[in-house]
Structure 1
Amino acid sequence: MVDNGEALSSQLKKVAFRPRARKKLELTFGPGRAADLIGRTPEAIAKAEAKGRLPQPKIGSNGRRYYTLEDLTLIRQALGIIPGKQSHEPAVVLAVQNFKGGVGKSTITKHLADYLSLQGLRVLVVDCDPQASTSSLFDVDQEALWESEETLAHFLAPTAPLNDFRLTIQDTAWPTTKIVPSSLGLGEIEWHMVAGAEGRQEIMRRFGLLRSGISQVRREFDVILLDPPPAMGFLGMNVMAAATGLVIPVPARQLDFLSTIHFMTNIADTLESLQGYDMGVNYDFIRVVASNYSRSADGETGMLRILQQMCGTNMLTNPILASEEIKNSVQEFRSVYESDKPISSHKTFTRCRDNLDLVFAEILHVIRQQWPSTSLTGFDDRHLLDGEAA
């Protein structure tokens, strides 16, 4: 069954990524969408191009201007736009965490990473789940990493040197997003992390392995996203100790609500345990988001209200709506943001992307509040529109 599964996995990826062996972004943006992502008006960008401050845009066969993702990065650089933090500020380390399976952790992590990259932020995704769903969505071949020493599994091995976390970081199809992928050996590593973990100092060291690694690169990125395993073992404890903030996805259903209460209790107990080992964990923020929400489903509207009552201001205003567009995109190993060609109808695609934009804009706002350089203005710096020349 394993041999058959590996063969079928290869075939599946060939179908999903056909005709290319590796995923390649072919995103283009019209003047309006490009200006919106950059934080300027289309007129301001056209004026800068006319004055030679920006290179001339690409022209399509229809005679209209368009821009690639790389073009947006160059425009931000040319205009002195810093979409993320200042170089001396540390990255926000955000774990998308819930022990309940099927809540959409990996799907949310992938879509949030792509959204932040579209905004020009430098993103590092650390896949800490042995199931490696997020790594698959970023087109990482886990089988090829089995013997590699440049993996998270090798870095977390108790006997491995901890001098260079950078060796685990790989490029993705997104220019400003990199990934520390999961591999087949990560599940086995957790057994080694537990084995021989005797004595207070050694347990502290093993709880803090991921935090130690991330500290080596934390100023090189704006946001570091952690996709945890669905259990609180040594891997889960490493994620909880490394994170500076949590986003907790919860479907608005009774069983998921009850399991989330249990999860919250576990978080409190885990933090108390980590404090007992002098780990000093104190999250800057915790946000709960209703995921896979359907307004027409029986009982979900009422459960959403109960979630809002429980979480108060820690609840995101916008839920992530259930959408066939997300489901179908993930089936093709990509996010909704990785194509302008809808799988379903254009209306469904637009509604889905607009909803995700609203949710992730809330998260980005919270992220920006953690950096002194942006905490006063929040995520929307459009008060600077056209004021650059002045």
Structure 2
Amino acid sequence: MPSYTVKTLRALTRSCEDMRDRVKQIAFEPENTKVLNLTFGPGIAAELVGRSVEAIRQAEKDGRLPQPKQLGNARRYYTIDDLTHIRKVFGIEVGKASDEDAVVVAVQNFKGGVGKSTITKHFADYLALHGYRVLVVDCDPQASTTTMFDIQPESLLDDECTLGEFLSPRSTFDEFPKAIHDTAWPTTKIVPSSLGLQDAEWDLTSTLTEGSQAVRESLQRLRIGLQTVIKDFDVILLDPPPAMGFLGLNVMAAASGILIPVPARQLDYLSTIHFMETIAENLEILDSHGTPVDYGFIRIVCSAFNPGKPGEHEMLQMMQATYANFLLSQPILSSEEIKNATQAFRSIYESKPSAATATYQRCRDNLDSVFGEVLQQIRQQWPSKNLAMQRTTDDSGSIAA
């Protein structure tokens, strides 16, 4: 018979699951599944695709584009699928060239409460809104990002095509693309976290007793899996676990760029010193096991910044002095809009204002500014988008090392 403690914990689990389902039913009613009810007026649509309103209207007049949808008051609007079609008709390629690799970005910090999963979700939606093909890989057993994408981790228990199964050296599952799931965003896919991911950590750790070849293979499993889809996406976002075990090392080995969220609080600032030293040490460990890593960019973002809180403005100044050009110029502002959207299993980009429209727009403009800086770093990794690389190629006939 299960003990009182076990029965209590399981009863609490069922109660939490029931409440979660009730909240989702309210948030996503009547479908009970997340759908994108996003619409854009002509001006916003034109801005998102990078063409003028007049150019789009002319294409509609010429028959190259269908006539836009209209509300009852005759106001024209476009959906996210319409934006994709407009880009296709105009030949707009926002992402990498077909022969280039996706940029793999790890949003990493060991400390909890820094906004890692929230940033991952919002950045994914920002990229999708601008037409990029995105793969999110949730490597955290807590599965916060998975839940934000409307996938229940416990529903994957009987599904062998999971990230945990792929990463485990004990598993025979070796087809990484089968672990990829659709999301409500047409250009975004996800490899969700599952409850078996923690078991994979133990299986990976057990290779320490099996020799250097087994250890090297266990450290490269995620990198090898991503290589099978590296041409299919523009950006791959990794949401790592908060600790640096074998799962974390897999993330570090697979990434080609790293984004580090750090709140403007003294303890978070001080813990980041240990985090960065640990990262450097673990990269040396990876190198010693035949898995060298050299990131195309490292950027730090001040997260959940509240300029009205005592000491945070001074901490931001300290971060600016410490990190210099490695710190993004804009912090992510603390916002009730983000909290309210997250409680409804959505991002700001999927939500309507919960308060004043001006407050919502300030929050969204802030995120756009931050993510625009990160996107600039990503685009520089693609020779086809990097103007400096293109100029070097034009001058010398080859890209300088």
Which bin holds the TM-score, normalised by the shorter protein?
over 0.9
Q: Distance in 2 between matches of 1:96 and 1:216?
A: 21
C-alpha RMSD of the superposition: 1.3
SS in 1 for 2:231: helix
Query: Size of the alignment, in residue pairs?
Result: 377
The equivalences for 1:211-360 within 5 A come to 211-339=223-351, 341-360=352-371
CA distance in 2: counterparts of 1:366 and 1:287, whole angstroms: 9
1:5 is displaced (CA, Å) by: 2.9
Report the more deviating stretch, 46-55 or 126-135.
46-55
Q: Which residue in 2 is equivalent to 1:81?
A: 92
Cα shift at 1:159:
2.1
Gaps of 5+ in 2: 1-11, 390-401
> Take 1:162 and 1:366, find their aligned partners in 2: how far apart are those partners?
34
TM-score, length-scaled by structure 1: 0.94
Q: Report the counterpart of residue 133 of structure 2 in structure 1.
A: 122
Residue number in structure 2 paired with 1:3: 14
TM-score normalized by the length of structure 2 = 0.92
| Alignment deviations for residues 45-67 of structure 1 (CA, whole Å, 9 cap, x no partner) | 11221122222111221112110
Q: Distance in 2 between matches of 1:213 and 1:203?
A: 16
Q: Aligned partners of 1:212 and 1:112: how far apart in 2? A: 24
**CA distance in 2 between partners of 1:363 and 1:186 (Å):** 29
Matched with 2:143 is 132
Shift of 1:12: 3.0
Partner letter of residue 205 of structure 1?
E
State the distance in 2 between where 1:9 and 1:54 align: 42
Q: 1:34 aligns with which of 33, 37, 45?
A: 45
Deviation at 1:162, TM superposition (A): 5.8
CA distance in 1, matches of 2:26, 2:138: 24
Report 1 or 2 for greater relative contact order, CA contacts < 8 Å, sequence distance ≥ 6.
Answer: 1
Give 1:133 deviation, angstroms. Answer: 0.2
Shift of 1:305: 1.2
5+ residue gaps, structure 1, are 379-390
- Shift of the alpha carbon at 1:148? 0.4
Match of 1:160 among 160, 171, 175: 171
Cα distance in 1 between the residues matched to 2:203 and 2:357: 49
Seen in structure 2, the aligned counterparts of structure 1 residues 41 and 377 have a Cα distance that, compared at 3 Å, is farther
Question: Per-residue deviation at 1:297?
Answer: 1.2
* Stretch moving more, 14-23 or 77-86: 14-23
What secondary structure does 2:387 align onto? coil
Distance 1:204 1:162 in 2: 19
Q: 1:112 aligns with which of 123, 126, 138?
A: 123
Structure 2: how far apart are the matches of 1:53 and 1:10? 44
Aligned residue type for 2:48? L
Q: CA deviation at 1:94?
A: 0.2
Please give the secondary structure, in 2, of the residue aligned with 1:214.
Answer: helix
Contact 2:170–2:203 (Cα < 8 Å) also in 1: no
Name which of structure 1's ranges 346-355 and 15-24 shifts more when overlaid on structure 2. 15-24
Deviation at 1:377, TM superposition (A): 8.0
- Deviating above 3 A after TM superposition, structure 1's stretches of 4 or more consecutive aligned residues are none
- SS of corresponding position for 2:261: strand
Equivalent position amino acid for 2:336 in 1: E
Equivalent residues of 1:162, 1:213 under 8 A apart: no
SS at match of 2:151: coil
